[in-house]
């Protein structure tokens, strides 16, 4: 298991955009807000670039990521935003350099593919969590981020008792390694060298702005690829709806999830606070956890940073 060094206030955060671009003013404001948390920042050379919908071309975005791994002054790498394009940089990454310089890597949405690839190839613990563009003023989001990245050198627990929306189904106190993230990206990895491995894993899933039939299609694809049947359990986050989705002659997202996932009779947590809404809790990818259904907690017995 490969761990990055724990984060401390005052450390330097490397900020990159491995996928989509953003406007200069938005980038400036969000970096200023993030620095107010108590960190220094180092900006990727191509963070402000625009090439179509990308923040620079594929090799440039990959170079920004690799340069942060090679820079001894950088403690953690946090993506500015997702969007689309992270998969395109994976062929240009040097895994040997990353292995020799493990650092915290944090992001979500399109960053899903990078998080799971580094875990699969290197046993590298990464973090599905907020990005620079996220709202760190939301207390639970901020505190979860700090607990994982600053205090995560010891085992800890994610207490679910304060979240009334959570449902815990098919209760069984199982152990398993966390993998997953955004549903579209999980499906996009199938049949590629970056395909996600779900056998005996606990799969986390979230999605945003997809119509219900598309979520059904993607979950069905995972079923037909035997990616769901072999899981030990599931943690399902926000499925932020597409506002233009029809309401007549349609299923609800709950009905689709019940049909495609709950029928597998695996231990499942519904409405876990992670994804494209808030709170957006930080979840370590690649670490073994225990479902404690009795006490409504996820136990993380091993360090996630060193």
Domains and CATH numbers, the chain: 12-149 (3.40.50.10740), 156-300 (3.50.30.60)
CB 76 within 8 A of CB 7: yes
**According to the model, what pLDDT value does residue 247 have?**
81
**According to the model, what pLDDT value does residue 241 have?**
87
CB 108 within 8 A of CB 82: yes
Number of Cβ within a 10 Å radius of residue 162: 10
**According to the model, what pLDDT value does residue 107 have?**
98
> How far, in Å, CA of 70 to CA of 266, rounded?
41
Say which residue the tokens 């996009």 belong to: 188
Return the ∠ at Cα 222 (arms to 220 and 226), rounded to 5°.
Answer: 115
- Active-site residue numbers? 109, 206, 276
> How far, in Å, CA of 58 to CA of 60, rounded?
5
Give SS3 for 188: helix
Predicted TM-score of the model (pTM) = 0.97
Give SS3 for 214: helix
pLDDT along the chain (306 residues), means of 10: 97 98 97 97 98 97 98 98 98 98 98 98 98 98 97 94 94 94 98 97 98 97 98 97 88 95 97 97 98 94 97
């Amino acid at each position: 298991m490969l761990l990055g060094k724990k984060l401390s206030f005052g450390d330097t955060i490397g900020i990159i955009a491995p996928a989509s671009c953003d406007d200069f003013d938005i980038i400036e404001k969000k970096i200023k807000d993030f620095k107010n948390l108590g960190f220094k920042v180092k900006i990727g050379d191509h963070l402000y670039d625009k090439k179509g919908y990308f923040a620079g071309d594929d090799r440039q975005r990959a170079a920004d990521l690799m340069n942060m791994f090679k820079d001894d002054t950088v403690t953690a790498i946090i993506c500015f935003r997702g969007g689309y394009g992270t998969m395109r940089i994976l062929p240009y990454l040097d895994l040997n350099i990353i292995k020799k310089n493990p650092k915290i890597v944090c992001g979500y949405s399109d960053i899903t593919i990078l998080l799971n690839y580094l875990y699969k190839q290197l046993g590298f613990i990464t973090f599905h969590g907020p990005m620079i563009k996220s709202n760190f003023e939301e207390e639970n989001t901020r505190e979860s981020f700090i607990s994982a990245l600053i205090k995560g050198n010891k085992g800890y627990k994610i207490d679910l008792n304060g979240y009334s929306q959570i449902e815990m189904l098919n209760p069984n106190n199982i152990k398993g390694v966390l993998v997953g993230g955004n549903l579209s990206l999980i499906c996009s990895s199938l049949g590629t060298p970056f395909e996600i491995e779900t056998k005996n894993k606990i799969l986390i899933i979230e999605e945003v702005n997809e119509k219900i039939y598309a979520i059904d299609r993607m979950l069905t694809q995972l079923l037909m690829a035997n990616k769901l049947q072999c899981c030990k359990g599931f943690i399902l986050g926000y499925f932020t709806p597409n506002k233009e989705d029809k309401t007549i002659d349609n299923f609800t997202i709950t009905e689709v999830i019940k049909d495609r996932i709950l029928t597998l009779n695996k231990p499942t947590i519904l409405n876990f606070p992670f994804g494209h809404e808030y709170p957006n809790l930080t979840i370590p990818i690649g670490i073994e956890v225990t479902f404690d259904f009795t006490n409504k907690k996820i136990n993380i017995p091993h360090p996630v940073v060193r």
